[in-house]
């Protein structure tokens, strides 16, 4: 209740100073869903530089990374964002998983430790967000509890959510499965890697921010 009231007051305040405020846009989701790839795509589109390094190995992003003053223009409108790329949230991390990628054991153990800290850091940042893009891998089962937990938390905090069904360039991808799993949310299917449907993403993003 207190959270909802705080968010309400925050929004009124934001509307008063809308022109000066940067919108904190968080990228959340499970590991390896393409959060950094999407953040990089947006940064490249509007700043000409990337926010972080994307990789096929899970938990590549192990710290929250920010990129300020990302001005996105869409259909004559302009909004200024602070992009917040977060580490993947998971319920389990086993260093042995990284050994499959031919990583030395010590490096894998270090990576696992950093990944656990990154997950905690990502959760702590939830309250700071004005809007969140939940990036899901459209080739995987969307009913994972981590996805449900992240989205449920954002709803409880009254933070606007846009769900991205990423990796639609892959054969196994299904936007419908994601839509069916979260029918009360707006879902955009895209390929962050190839830039497919990115215009539709900006359209949905502006629409969700307008509704705040």
Partner 1 sequence: MLTLQFVPYTDIEKLDSAGRIKKLLTIVKEEKIVLMQGRLKPEEETGLIEKTMESIGKKFTGIEICTIYPEEVNADLFGRLKKEFYKVLIGDREGITVIGPASLIKEIRRDPNKIQLFTSVPVRRTSPRRKVVSGKAGKTHKKKR
Tell me the CA end-to-end span of the chain in Å, nearest whole number.
Answer: 18
* Neighbour tally for 10: CB within 10 Å: 13
Single residue of 23, 42, 72, 126 touching partner 1 by CB under 8 A: 126
Output b/e per residue, 20-56; b: 16+ Cβ within 10 A.
eeebbbbbbbbbbbbbbbbbbbbbeebeeebbbebee
Q: Is 57 an interacting residue with respect to partner 1 (CB under 8 A)?
A: no
Q: Is 143 an interacting residue with respect to partner 1 (CB under 8 A)?
A: yes
Q: How far is the CB of 182 from partner 1 (least distance, A)?
A: 11
Please tell me the distance from the alpha carbon of residue 25 to that of residue 39, in angstroms, as a whole number.
10
Using CB under 8 A, which of the segments 60-68, 88-96, 130-138, 192-200 binds partner 1? 88-96
Q: Is 93 an interacting residue with respect to partner 1 (CB under 8 A)?
A: yes
Q: Is 89 an interacting residue with respect to partner 1 (CB under 8 A)?
A: yes
Six-digit token pair at 142? 């969307």
Using CB under 8 A, which of the segments 10-18, 37-45, 69-77, 142-150 binds partner 1? 142-150
Q: How far is the CB of 96 from partner 1 (least distance, A)?
A: 8
Print the binding letters for residues 145-184 with partner 1: x by CB under 8 A, - otherwise. xx-xx--xx-xx------------------------x---
Cβ contact 121:28 at 8 Å: no
Please tell me the distance from the alpha carbon of residue 28 to that of residue 41, in angstroms, as a whole number.
15
Size of the site for partner 1 (CB under 8 A): 25
Q: How far is the CB of 148 from partner 1 (least distance, A)?
A: 7
Closer Cβ to partner 1, 85 or 97, answer by number? 97
Q: Is 139 an interacting residue with respect to partner 1 (CB under 8 A)?
A: no
- Walk across the sheet containing 161-166 and list its strands: 65-74, 77-85, 23-28, 131-137, 161-166, 186-189
Work out the burial of residue 187: count CB atoms within 10 Å of its CB; fewer than 13 is exposed, 13-18 middle, 19 or more buried: buried
Q: Which residues bind partner 1 (CB under 8 A)?
A: 89-94, 112, 116-117, 119-120, 123, 126, 141, 143-146, 148-149, 152-153, 155-156, 181
């Amino acid at each position: 209740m207190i959270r909802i009231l705080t968010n309400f007051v925050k929004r009124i305040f934001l509307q008063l100073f809308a022109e000066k405020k940067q919108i904190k846009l968080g990228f959340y989701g499970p590991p390896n869903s393409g959060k950094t790839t999407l953040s990089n795509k947006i940064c490249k589109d509007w700043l000409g530089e990337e926010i972080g390094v994307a990789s096929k190995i899970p938990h590549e992003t192990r710290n929250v990374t920010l990129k300020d003053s990302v001005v996105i223009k869409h259909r004559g409108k302009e909004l200024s964002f602070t992009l917040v790329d977060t580490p993947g949230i998971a319920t389990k991390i086993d260093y042995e998983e990284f050994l499959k990628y031919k990583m030395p054991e010590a490096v894998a153990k270090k990576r696992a430790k950093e990944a656990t800290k990154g997950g905690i850091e990502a959760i702590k940042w939830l309250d700071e967000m004005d809007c969140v893009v939940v990036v899901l891998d459209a080739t995987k089962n969307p009913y994972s509890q981590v996805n449900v937990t992240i989205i449920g938390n954002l709803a409880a905090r009254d933070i606007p959510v846009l769900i991205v069904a990423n990796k639609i360039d892959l054969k196994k991808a299904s936007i419908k499965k994601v839509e069916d799993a979260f029918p009360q949310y707006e879902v955009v299917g895209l390929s962050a890697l190839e830039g497919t449907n990115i215009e539709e993403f900006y359209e949905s993003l502006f629409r969700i921010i307008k509704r705040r």
